[in-house]
Amino acid sequence: MGIPEAVCPANPLGDLGAAPSSSGLDNCLVILPNDSFSGYAASSAVLKENGPSILQPTRQADDRPELEGDDEIWLQMRAEARHDAEVQPVLASYLYSTILAHRSLERALAFHLGNKLSSTTLLSTQLYNLIVDTFMDDVEIRESVRADIKAVRERDPACVSYSHCMLNFKGFLACQAYRVAHRLWNQGRISLALAIQSRVSEVFAVDIHPAAKIGKGILFDHATGVVIGETATVGDSVSILHHVTLGGTGKYGGDRHPKVGNGVLIGAGATILGNIKIGDGAKIGAGSVVLIEVPPSTTAVGNPARLVGGKTTPSRLTEIPSETMDHTSFISEWSDYVI
């Protein structure tokens, strides 16, 4: 099976300093692999889709289903990519090969991850096959991909578009690669799952054990240095910043990592150790070291961490911290520190 490729003129959108040329786009031919997915065969018809000609695969009776209904995120992503290609012609070939040459978000993401994680001995074509089959076999993963990309777009003001997230946000990419590795782990394909974990760690500087359990609507903001251990669990709609560790307390096996609830916000550089529970809607301040349970809808800050408002009657959060992304409003209650 091959990777989709875009065959275009040297500059399909005209000279870099000139106005974009729609006729230049029409001259592109995007070729999808004959066996881009088991159950597909190349069609002899060349279809036009608002610009480049695309050699589309023919749907077979045994093809696995896509998500029902219109995929609004994918449609928006394609519109963004086309706009960017016209505004920045130097990116045209890149955007066609990564987004516009594909007929679904799953295939575009599999192509991009396959290229990112490949090495001289682990080929991008092999990874593309593996990732796209994993996506298409598991509707829960497909739903999680969309929930994650939505979370990034809504919570991170630095994310300007869905296409920007998929192409450039390594936290999002690392999370989707984890989802593939997690499914492989659950299938008993341990060595392959660990190989993907290793490549993700090398490429994105994010180390998530494939046995960890992570929900959907996840934001890994910046993501560099995030470590999530083997028996850790992370709920839905959680936001985690860079250099966060969900770790164990020693060399002993068993259930030894944190259990993070829904809607939790974990600030940059926070370390949470041991089989402890971080309750739904809790907030962990940046740089905190948490060694004991944190109740729901409370804020834990410091080294060692303590609850804002005190252990007996801690202050209660009224909003979901992972969505508000508010990292500092607790300061006046927690400390009289001034510079």
Residues forming beta bridges with residue 233, ordered by sequence position: 213, 259
Residue 24: HSE in the Cβ half-sphere, 13 Å Cα cutoff: 18
Whole-number pLDDT of residue 131: 97
Give per-residue pLDDT as tens, 53-106.
333 333 333 344 454 457 999 999 999 999 999 999 999 999 999 999 999 999
Q: Which two tokens stand for residue 9?
A: 């003129």
Whole-number pLDDT of residue 45: 33
Per-residue buried b or exposed e for 96-107, using 16+ beta carbons within 10 Å of the residue's own CB: bbbbbbbbbbbb
Give per-residue pLDDT as tens, 182-220.
999 999 999 999 999 999 999 999 999 999 999 999 999
Q: In what order do the strands lie in the sheet with 289-290?
A: 207-208, 227-228, 245-247, 271-273, 289-290
Lowest mean pLDDT among 20-29, 53-62, 245-254: 53-62
Task: Work out the burial of residue 299: count CB atoms within 10 Å of its CB; fewer than 13 is exposed, 13-18 middle, 19 or more buried.
Answer: buried
Task: Work out the burial of residue 42: count CB atoms within 10 Å of its CB; fewer than 13 is exposed, 13-18 middle, 19 or more buried.
Answer: middle
Residue 281 has pLDDT above 60, yes or no: yes
Q: Which two tokens stand for residue 107?
A: 């295939």
Residue 4's contacts (CB-CB under 8 Å, 6 or more residues apart) are 30, 31, 32, 33, 36, 97, 101, 102, 107, 111
How far apart, in whole angstroms, are the C-alpha atoms of residue 151 and residue 147? 6
Residue 257 has pLDDT above 90, yes or no: yes
Instruction: Give the dihedral sign, CA 40/179/151/138.
Output: positive
* Nearest by Cα to 200 from 179, 218, 186, 215: 179
Whole-number pLDDT of residue 186: 98
User: Percent of the chain beyond pLDDT 70?
Assistant: 77
